[in-house]
Chain A
């Protein structure tokens, strides 16, 4: 079985540019999570979807961040405009439901110059 697939694996862009991160969850998983990981703050939950509906977006840092899940097999996390402090590794994870172990993708390493 394919795991959670994230793209791109690496992204380097200049500040002010729009950045779109993509995630394909494991088929059949109803819950999808976006995380950000930095050395300073560790792993932080940004947003959680259940059955394609955003349930908890209290971790989204500010209005520059937005996430969508148009269908059960695809989600995006968008940053517009990007800033250097957004540099981090962004993980997507999915699980059959919120109380089951999550399966993480290998992340997108984002660098904003």
Chain B
């Protein structure tokens, strides 16, 4: 069964601290994996998109890693800011001509001053 599981479900950290969000998937065959950030009341915004051959990809203070062998990905946020408070969603694209997208339930991150 094609699934995407994210952990933790929610996380609270202090401003300036680092954190890591996890995404495990069973989607097969794999095409790519995406991380989105969703602010409250807004649509998701793409942070990174990684294909099978990419292990690490950075976007400013956000760094995503991918281990296609273990089917795990992580999103590391460095020096967190209050504006990082949001839901972070992991999405896996199943590889095929009509490949489908499989969504995690998201990790709700709250950054406190």
Instruction: Point out residues on A near B: beta carbons under 8 Å.
Output: 4, 42-45, 55-56, 58, 91, 93, 98-107
Contacts and interface: CB of A to CB of B under 8 A. Distances in A.
Chain B interface size range: 20 to 34
Given A42-B104, A45-B101, A55-B98, A104 B41 contact: no
Given A98-B99, A99-B93, A42 B43 contact: no
Contacts of A45: 100-101, 103
B31 A99 contact: yes
A43 B88 CA distance: 12
B76 interface: no
Given A42-B106, A43-B103, A56-B100, A106 B46 contact: no
A56 B106 contact: no
Interface of B: 31-32, 34, 41-46, 49, 89, 93, 98-101, 103-106
A99 B32 contact: yes
Given A43-B103, A98-B99, A104 B44 contact: yes
B105 A104 contact: no
B44 to A, nearest CB: 5
Given A101-B46, A105-B43, A106-B41, A43 B98 contact: no
Contacts of B100: 45, 56, 58
B6 to A, nearest CB: 10
Given A104-B45, A105-B43, 15 more contacts: A42-B89, A42-B103, A42-B104, A42-B106, A43-B44, A43-B89, A56-B98, A58-B100, A91-B44, A99-B32, A99-B93, A101-B46, A103-B46, A104-B43, A106-B41
Contacts of B42: 106-107
Nearest to B91: A43
B54 to A, nearest CB: 13
